[in-house]
Structure 1
């Protein structure tokens, strides 16, 4: 405990708070301290009672002012200070609002034991330079966790560069990763250093690593083993000092078994694996994430009622955190100028559903919109072709006249839209 003038400030490691805050908001302060301490949150958070003077020593800290009030609310009058007014210090909403208000932009927000254990482990991993492989469904926060590891590492002052291997043209991926010299290929009017050299000294995130072509996987393995890259058109390697974090939303051991991913690269990346669960499997994260999205997308930042939070907690969240963000943004529009988001403002996605079992396809749509009809027709055609090809994506792609890579995109988009596809259709051998 330290004395800043007339204000007594307690230091619990994860955050600091005044004596007045500890007395007036004991239940909420203690719960917040326990959650933030679970993953060693930075000591940049200062809690105080809304009616006390803020010590000058906290000027550069993120400050959250707490107030007991009959009508709860949350606001951020400036980029540093947030005000949380709550009625029940033991309630779900009050802790969620505090965690959301205390978090800096881009930082993880978690309260579920599953997520807290992953963050605690990630902080320990950050102290080393070993490669990290993060597995988890699409939209669960793998890039946020990667940034967390970078920010807690000795490389935090150096670049963090995130690239999506599935989003870049396959023909250009090598040049984008390793760089190229002027004139090394048609259109190369100038040299480029590539992402590896751009991330020198820092961290390179390779998202959707399973989408990387096999030929390029061999060159990535060499870059990891030797700590050097050979730009296209060059004859001499260039040394790089880069920590690689790879993310995958598919089962990489299965990809290795089926020949779509190199076993040596997998074991090189899989030094320390982390796994993020689907949002429905970590329900205590839903409320703080929802409040964080309210703060992100609304200047007025309405409160989320207990009934609305209960509705969110009961949803299955097939689209994970991205779906939650859509639902929150939709709720903000429906709530308008209201001070509270209620259950009537919560509208979930109602995607078309497609279920295939043993080759039988049954489809239903909620409406007759052309986009739904086109998507359903495309899904039926693709899945029927997969079934006819005994699940072989290579054969199905050839028959459909598209690349296997495009076929994987289509199947992933069906899953994200809520279209269920049988394991036989997508899990067959090449």
Structure 2
């Protein structure tokens, strides 16, 4: 079985090969995921900055939903990776079955609730008029595909825990190609505008979901059977203990971004479009660093299960070298070609000017962001999800958001990007302190393999 071959590589093989075999396909998959919204922005940008501003407002809500699925997956990744490392495969299958069961029910609840309250939520963010109408239309269509979002997230997480990232990559690329094909047809030829962009995204993700379901039950990985699709009291308690902090960690940032966007609205739609576009461009390299660091979750889990923690420390050293290489490459491109990059997505001179300044202040934090993500991956692989939660909440709610309001008195709209830079650099330092404490090496009472 491939997952057994992957286990041998992860617990005994060359660590650079381990990192790249797990992370490279996931990095491309992450680029593909980011490309969905960028594709929408590219085509809708031809209609006007108001459409781009609408996606900017809606994106944190969509990201929060996606991250709920990721948060639910964290306990499974920790348990499955450690179970595979300890060669306890039936325990791994039960954990996957529990995730599928809970994720299906959760996706239905979130999807229906979102459809009922989406407009009210947008109004709370001070949206009104045409911007409210566009944002609401886009969000409602995307919410119809909530179940596909959860299925895809669970499938990718299952494969990550197994150490197999290639299958999700193939399907993500196929789905993106379909999205790129459908976008101009729905937006321009069928004259559906922003609704067409959302519809193209949902249909593309539906394709990936169909394959993910088939591969989970009939593929070559850990085959899940009907008997595994249950949940008992102890398993639910474990999922809550590990999953709730992970969910809070995952949704804290998009919820904070909703508040930040609401504050940015006071400076006008053009600034909203600039901040949203700047964040999306940043996210290309930032998310690559983050995905690179997800390899640390699988490496940590399987090597803790195999009782070889020294490989985790060695992998972290190698990860730091890769983070600095990728960050330096990305920073060089952004500093040299920021105006040209922004110009691909907007022809508004004000948006181009503001987004360029935003990028030059925030992008250099990519190094500290990568360090934080690597250390977060170690703690999640060990099952200590509260540590990541604490650091994330400190970054957003104790440092970044208060700084926005404090700095706004002195530098106005620029407070939105300088607060981001200060907060991100701060959590890198905090994460290093946690890592050096070696608390991730202690046995976790919620994971027994």
Query: What TM-score results when the alignment is normalised by the length of structure 2?
Result: 0.27
If asked which structure has higher relative contact order (CA below 8 Å, sep 6+), I would say 2
TM-score by length of 1: 0.27
More strand as a share of residues: 1
Higher helix share: 2
